[in-house]
Amino acid sequence: MVVVNPVARLRSSSRTPFLQVVKTAVAVVAAVLLCRVLIDGPFPTFAAIAALLVVQPSINQSFVKGLERSAGVVLGVVLATGFHLLLGDTVWVVLLVIVLAILIAWALRLTPTSATQVGISGMLVLTAGVVTPNYSADRILETVLGAIVALIVNAVIVPPVLLGPAHLAVARLARDTAAAFERVAIGLTEGWDHDRWHEALLQARALRQQHARAEASLTAARESLTMNPRGGRHRTILDEDIVVTEHLRVLVTRVTGMTRAIQDNTAPDLRADPVVGSIATEVARIAADVRALSARVAASEVPVAPAVGSSVGSSVSSPVASAAEPALTAPLEVIRPNSRHWVLIGALLEDIRRVREELLGEDD
């Protein structure tokens, strides 16, 4: 029985980038000093809290957090001010405001950030001292100023770009997909037994999780480039990586299916079939093209400026179609299929045909 240390749950598996820590500190100090100059009153707690929460890993996330935070504060402050004017600021009024804030946030379907902020803002307003309309307006202004300062700091001081990890994940996925096709070609040539094919199948299936991780990295990269002043020169590579990843999704599905079909239908005399030898040669050519694709992705530097006249996105039909000399030959044709292996041979030929269409951008 594994005993999990509860204290270990307090620590993250990775550190927050130190630059983000510095930006958060700068945002808090700047927001507090700005509010002290513009607003005459107590320490601008709301501005400091807003700055702490709004500095996020991406500009877009900071903008969303700023909106959520501001909306929650406005609703909470207005709610607390109204009940204070009607009922005072006793303990029961504070509790009533908190409960109502929870119910109102639920009824309005607010995000967790906004929903939590409604109750916190109402509680802070009622417990901070004398509540007046001017006091409430100042607290709202503090929050807005803190959110704006945090957004500006996050956008001005080296705005985050998460393209590097995503680009590396796509290159590795292409490389490992090529290796999976190479295993199929080698296995058909050497005549692997069922156990070797089972091992190859496990490796091929692992590509699906790897593809999912690559897509998650691309999503994070796209998020980091949204509203980012540094995003323009990175979007070309991101769009190309998205196109490559979509093609790799098809290739991962095909190589997994091919490996599974061979494992289920392998036989000692499979290697002797001449058609199987031709299939192995064609799969090796597929692997060469995918390997070349991996090399081209890996060779792309991040960041790079978009090339003049370059086109990406939907205009790119295939990541390999632009290659000067693709390794794939014409589709194989079998006039008289082997009576023992015709099901497997037919399945492999169909997979090769579809892979060819995906790599070369051919129509059905």
User: pLDDT tens-digit profile of 37-58?
Assistant: 888 878 888 889 888 888 887 7
- Residue 305 is predicted with a pLDDT of 36
State yes or no: pLDDT of 129 exceeds 80: no
DSSP line for 203-236: HHHHHHHHHHHHHHHHHHHHHHHTT-TT-TTTHH
* Distance separating the N- and C-terminal Cα atoms of the chain: 55
Q: What is the location of CATH 1.20.58 in the chain?
A: 163-360
Dihedral sign for Cα atoms in the order 205, 209, 215, 217 = negative
Distance CA 186, CA 180 (A): 10
For the stretch 222-261, pLDDT in tens is 877 776 666 666 778 888 888 899 989 999 999 999 899 8
Helix residue ranges, H only, the chain:
18-38, 45-54, 59-87, 91-108, 112-127, 133-156, 163-190, 194-225, 235-265, 274-299, 342-360
Select the more confidently predicted residue: 315 or 116.
116
Please report the pLDDT score of residue 311 as a whole number.
36
Summarize pLDDT for 257-313 with one digit per residue, the tens. 989 988 888 777 777 777 788 888 888 988 888 988 888 888 776 554 333 333 333
CA angle, corner 305, sides to 299 and 309, nearest 5?
95
Determine the CATH number of domain 163-360: 1.20.58
Q: How far apart are CA 52 and CA 29, in angstroms?
A: 10
pLDDT at 73 over 80: yes
* pTM of the full structure: 0.66
Let me know: does 252 contact 208? Beta carbons within 8 Å.
yes
307: Cα within 13 Å, side-chain hemisphere:
8
- Residue 248: CB partners within 8 Å, gap ≥ 6? 170, 173, 174, 177, 211, 214
Closest C-alpha to 170, from 216, 235, 225, 206: 216
The tokens of 180 are what?
Answer: 């999976």
